[in-house]
Chain A
């Protein structure tokens, strides 16, 4: 798994491609690395609610106090409740609200790393071009703010076009096999 940690450290903006069922492992690996090497991270979650994510990271012995969660999913099913280390977005398709919130976090300079999970899921809520435009702007803002940005993306048919467009703005695209992620979990 040296590939994930080394290349995460070596690049400012990276896409980590992983098989769908291994998303959680990839996220935990990146969170562990953020905790070990940096002082914490912002995790933007398009895959699971913040409370579920919080619990799963805690189970993986990750100090969740070092993380800040931007929860895009909870609003679709539950009433939003205030939480000290979580911000909620009122709708997954509202990129303006998400953009403003992330800009605010970047301006605060409180976190040196941002992990975006799962970028492919954005396509469920927004048009392809709007997603590319949004992510390009996020990348630019992160570069300006010196924040390391990691995108976790599914290796599935629907993500190919997005990957094609995004790879033009990335420092690196890393394909993580199920075997590698398994080794990392065991290690």
Chain B
């Protein structure tokens, strides 16, 4: 089932825009920062609108409705956080870390984790043992390498204050949790009607986590600037999540002729 042309068009436009900003870097650091955040906000907004589009066929009374609804709230908070950072970049030019936007970003994980925990709790894991085992091993290796290369060095850094340390640990930890839970759902539902939609949502969450981990790693070394190649992960992440929501809507739409 092919996504609608509008969704493909928006996805392609966002990819082209972020590639232009990252590699052509038009107008210097300030313009790149503002444009980079603007594209981030648009991509998160795309995922939010796609989530609303999918949710309109569902109800909060079903697990599927609660999962899509809460994930969409998470995407909306991502959009708000990105918009706050865009305003900071456009007006203040420099701001402290963690900023108010970071508090909103962390808050965005709460509905997402609630959705995924609920999904994993409600769903029965019927089969696919080898695939699930492989995924859990891969996740465990990722978690260990993130803990060793990112979390422990950040915790041991004496030059960083406590609040910054908390956020530095929260971002990778929350991302790892989201990847684990989304991956579990995608593995369980693999092979059915929702293979592609949950596969795309999982890929999207994995790319968002890759963006956040790259940000944490580069930020820790003082190398991160908005408009870095790692920003492509975020845009791609939101785009895949949006396409996953759109596909879910397509699967569930009322069949032609039955109204």
- Footprint of B on A, CB under 8 Å? 12-13, 95-96, 99-100, 103, 128-130, 132-134, 136-137, 139-140, 143, 160-165, 167-171, 173
Mark contacts of B200-234 with chain A using CB atoms, 8 A cut-off: 1 yes-contact digit, 0 otherwise.
00000000000000000000000000000000000
Q: Which of A128, A134, A165 is B189 in contact with, Cβ under 8 Å? A: A165
Whether A160 pairs with B127 at a CB distance below 8 angstroms is yes
- How far is the CB of B257 from the nearest CB of chain A, in Å? 4
> A96-B257, A128-B193, A132-B251 given as contacts; is B62 within 8 A of A160 (CB)?
no
- How far is the CB of B25 from the nearest CB of chain A, in Å? 44
Whether A133 pairs with B64 at a CB distance below 8 angstroms is no
> A103-B258, A137-B255 given as contacts; is B124 within 8 A of A168 (CB)?
no
9 pairs, CB–CB < 8 Å, chain A vs chain B: A99-B255, A103-B259, A133-B255, A136-B252, A161-B191, A165-B194, A168-B194, A169-B62, A169-B63
List B contacts of A130 (CB < 8 A). Answer: 255
Supply 9 further A-B pairs (C-beta < 8 A) apart from A103-B259, A143-B59, A169-B64: A99-B255, A100-B257, A103-B258, A132-B192, A133-B255, A137-B252, A139-B62, A143-B61, A167-B124
Whether A164 pairs with B257 at a CB distance below 8 angstroms is no
CB of B188 within 8 Å of the partner chain = yes
- How far is the CB of A156 from the nearest CB of chain B, in Å? 12
Tell me the bound Cα distance from A173 to B124 in angstroms.
10
Whether B62 pairs with A137 at a CB distance below 8 angstroms is no
> Does more than half of chain B's interface fall in helix, strand or loop, or is it mixed?
loop
| Chain B interface, number of residues (Cβ within 8 angstroms) | 29
Tell me the bound Cα distance from A171 to B194 in angstroms.
19
* Closest residue of B by beta carbon distance from A103: B258
Whether B257 pairs with A161 at a CB distance below 8 angstroms is no
> A132-B193, A132-B251 given as contacts; is B61 within 8 A of A96 (CB)?
no
Tell me the bound Cα distance from A137 to B59 in angstroms.
12
Interface residues of B in 91-141 (CB under 8 A from A): 119, 122-124, 126-127
Tell me the bound Cα distance from A168 to B192 in angstroms.
12
- How far is the CB of A167 from the nearest CB of chain B, in Å? 6
Interface residues of B in 142-189 (CB under 8 A from A): 188-189
* Closest residue of A by beta carbon distance from B185: A168
Q: Which of A96, A103, A162, A167 is B63 in contact with, Cβ under 8 Å? A: A167
Whether A96 pairs with B255 at a CB distance below 8 angstroms is yes
List B contacts of A139 (CB < 8 A). Answer: 62
Q: Which of A13, A96, A171, A173 is B258 in contact with, Cβ under 8 Å? A: A96
* Closest residue of B by beta carbon distance from A17: B124
Q: Which of A95, A103, A140 has the most CB of B within 10 A?
A: A140
* Closest residue of B by beta carbon distance from A157: B127
Whether A162 pairs with B192 at a CB distance below 8 angstroms is yes
- How far is the CB of A165 from the nearest CB of chain B, in Å? 4
